[in-house]
Structure 1
């Protein structure tokens, strides 16, 4: 039987609180006609204020949305309402073949995916473009090394000749090194006591970028990724993949600066393979008014192929073939580490990737503690500070409420600035997301 999404799952896709509230108006069968589902998509026509009903369809695997309403939010309230209707009662959305207009949209999406999977039409031209970009990146990284050395030579406290870094960032954009540009822009906002540390790490990355062909394959891939090279998802999925039953450890959705004129929303979803034990990180992005297209509720298990981005510590992945829909996960919390083991594990990861800020970690039998100087997690032998800059205060009080002073299992990201909790498991209870959708 087809397993339908929970209400929480559907509402986690909403781009904002107003959309979640408005979706309830369209979650009953009254405004809908011609609804149906074939297990891969849901469609229907919704009566609106005009004479013509809005045609709404949702492709479930991605998910992706299509609606003829004028809303600029994705998914719109009609798509969310249709999903709520479908998830609530099988009788309201019967099985069937897609309506003609829905089938046309679904077929067009499939054709675009097939075209993208074929790769560039002219491999020789693509190779020339890659060589040209590599030369520009190398030149830009070399210039950045000189700029950083010049700042250090004049002294960090001497700001008489130190203008803003924006001009240097623009030079990195011209050099096709968007990753370096982002890191350079962040320097202007750093406190004085952190400048030398960040200068050193950025200088190390720029140096590696000028000698990337001399590095081991994994480290070279890490450097290219951090400099700003991206990989085509279709090409990535054509390579080696890892099939496993992936437990969804948690997710976090947060705004991210996407440029000078707009803000992006980033959704991070962390998984762990049941057989391999490998961690995986999925990323999705949404523009203003649009929820990221990634819907995997915490605690569920998805059997699928994962294609990992190459690197010294492969973590980011793309979902390939799915073998069924997400299923309920095990009742018991996932296996984890002590605080001391987590510290050692992060140290090993940093030895492979020196620019790694954090690593996904499950801590077992820890208790949250509120102290005058901040929050901590302790297992009775060792203590780790909570990275409050990444976790809102209400989430920490929620963590304390889940614990009630008793040990619990916590998933999050551990790094040199502390631990950022994402999900908590108390004995005999389902997982609790701490950061919300």
Structure 2
């Protein structure tokens, strides 16, 4: 224990790295050699000077409650290698929080942060304490009437865009899918641009994804027909949104990219970080960071999204395995998954125990229940355990016969006999779930999972969807430290 609470592990620190190069460079700076005037505070911050190639050392400070980073180096990566090195030094307890020194560093007996660190930390504290700007007291009927008219105009534009998209999908089915490989992506990009003009960014994103399917290998016609059907379902839902139950109507509006009409439920809990990974948009213009959380008291899952342009990772960085006490505000619709992190109550700390898992049958049932609330849901977050990874064996027959018939799911490609599955370790009669790619490098996480298990049981967190289960994080029975897959 330290003044900042339980220290992070080196693996949790390196999980923050924006890329492999930063991870390797940060690891080289994790010793006391290049550091001087290091220290930490009870409020949850660490700082230090790191010797570089220039005459002046780099000033590095990390707010552990974010985490957030500040460094005087010219790097545009967040966190930079110096911030990673400082965190590794702190994680290894090579940073003396009370004296403000570390082994091998120059003496600095002051326990207070230096001016350059204190100024940045004070700015962050002031910004966090600043109340959110409320609506003007002068808002009256005229403002409400203006908002209503703007909403009506946007709804009309979206309706026109949906009608145009329905015609495009009808032409696709009428003409057949065989020529889509030769037709190329340009026509779909043009359709997506029309959806942007119609102020329906959610439709534009789905259209772009639809246009990329013909270049995605064997089995693409089935996947393209599947996605076209889901897009058609979303179109028809929008055209009849006024007659839908409000929870489903909220989901439809969110899928089209509209802001929710009402504020969602706020839940204060201790949130365990189960997984975090980045995915690029189909056009390469945006990086989406997905962070999966689970409330330790409520048991509620939460998906927090953050975005960044290429070359600059999103700002939210939470190491897997940490627990933070915070308020999460859930957005209406989307099966109650999407949430925004609000006020935090103290720095995060590593979790002392692995999460409790459920059986494969319970996981499939949870996904099916969620689909009733959001038919466009790709997957549902599930902690499985104890489970054992096994080779596929009869996988092809499961996918083509009883398993898919029981789930009402004919989507996806047939898997060969080498596909891995997760089976309940207790040997229940529930069918195992097929595994898909893991982490940011599809496929590598599967072998990593098998090696981690060694034939024994594991607890595994991942996304359970219609194509199988994508493992993201695993825990051994004898350890509370998570292993990020992929």
TM-score (structure 2 length as normaliser): 0.77
Q: Which residue of 2 aligns with 1:27?
A: 30
Per mean C-alpha deviation after superposition, the further-off stretch among 285-294 and 344-353 is: 285-294
Q: Is the 8 A contact 2:4 2:44 kept in 1?
A: no
Alpha-carbon separation, structure 2, partners of 1:365 and 1:63: 32
CA contact (8 A) 1:74 1:289 kept: no
Q: 1:148 to 1:116 in 2, by over 3 A?
A: farther
Consecutive unaligned residues of structure 2, counting only runs of 5 or more, are 101-109, 214-219, 393-416
User: Which segment is superposed worse, 19-28 or 120-129?
Assistant: 120-129
Bigger mean CA offset, 290-299 vs 393-402: 290-299
Q: Which of 268, 291, 296 matches 1:243?
A: 268
The structure-2 alpha-carbon separation of the partners of 1:295 and 1:168, relative to structure 1 and needing over 3 Å to count, comes to closer
Residue 62 (str. 1) matches residue 66 (str. 2): yes
Tell me the equivalent position of 1:99.
114
Count matched residues.
428
The residue aligned with 1:10 is 13
User: Which ranges of structure 1 fall in alignment gaps of 5 or more residues?
Assistant: none
| Residue pair 2:437, 2:445 contacting (<8 A) in 1 also | no
Say if 1:231 and 1:114 are closer, same or farther in 2 by CA, change over 3 A: farther
Q: Distance in 1 between matches of 2:226 and 2:363?
A: 23
From 317, 336, 341, give the equivalent of 1:319: 341
Tell me what 1:204 maps to. Answer: 233
What is residue 168 of structure 1 aligned with on the other side?
191
Instruction: Give yes or no for contact 1:300–1:329 (8 Å, CA) kept in 2.
Output: yes
Asked if structure 2 preserves the Cα contact closer than 8 Å seen for 1:34 and 1:45, the reply is yes
Q: Give me the whole-angstrom Cα distance separating, in 1, the residues matched to 2:113 and 2:259.
A: 36
Q: Quick check: 391-400 or 107-116, which moved more?
A: 107-116
Q: Distance in 1 between matches of 2:171 and 2:235?
A: 14
User: Which residue of structure 2 aligns with residue 301 of structure 1?
Assistant: 323
Counterpart in the other structure of 2:104: none
**C-alpha displacement at 1:217, in angstroms?**
2.6
Aligned CA RMSD, in angstroms, stands at 3.3
Report the TM-score when normalising by structure 1: 0.85
Residue deviations 1:285-315 (CA, integer Å, cap 9, x gap): 4444444444444444333222112115111
Give the match for residue 75 of structure 2: 71
Structure-to-structure mapping, 1:324-339, within 5 angstroms: 324-331=346-353, 333-339=354-360
Structure 2 partner of 1:428:
478
Select the residue among 255, 270, 275 that pairs with 2:279.
Answer: 255
Q: Aligned equivalents of 1:144 and 1:119: distance in 2?
A: 38
How far apart are 1:119 and its partner, in Å? 5.2
Deviations for 1:81-114, whole angstroms, at most 9, x for unmatched residues?
A: 2222333334167384443333443444456566
The structural deviation recorded for 1:18 is: 1.8
Contact 2:438 2:471 in 1 (8 A): no
User: Of residues 384, 388, 404 in structure 2, which corresponds to 1:363?
Assistant: 384
- Of 267-276 and 184-193, deviating more is 267-276
Farther off after superposition, 11-20 or 214-223: 214-223
Structure 1 contact 148–203 (Cα < 8 Å) conserved: yes
Are 1:49 and 2:71 matched, yes or no?
no
Tell me which residue corresponds to 2:404: none
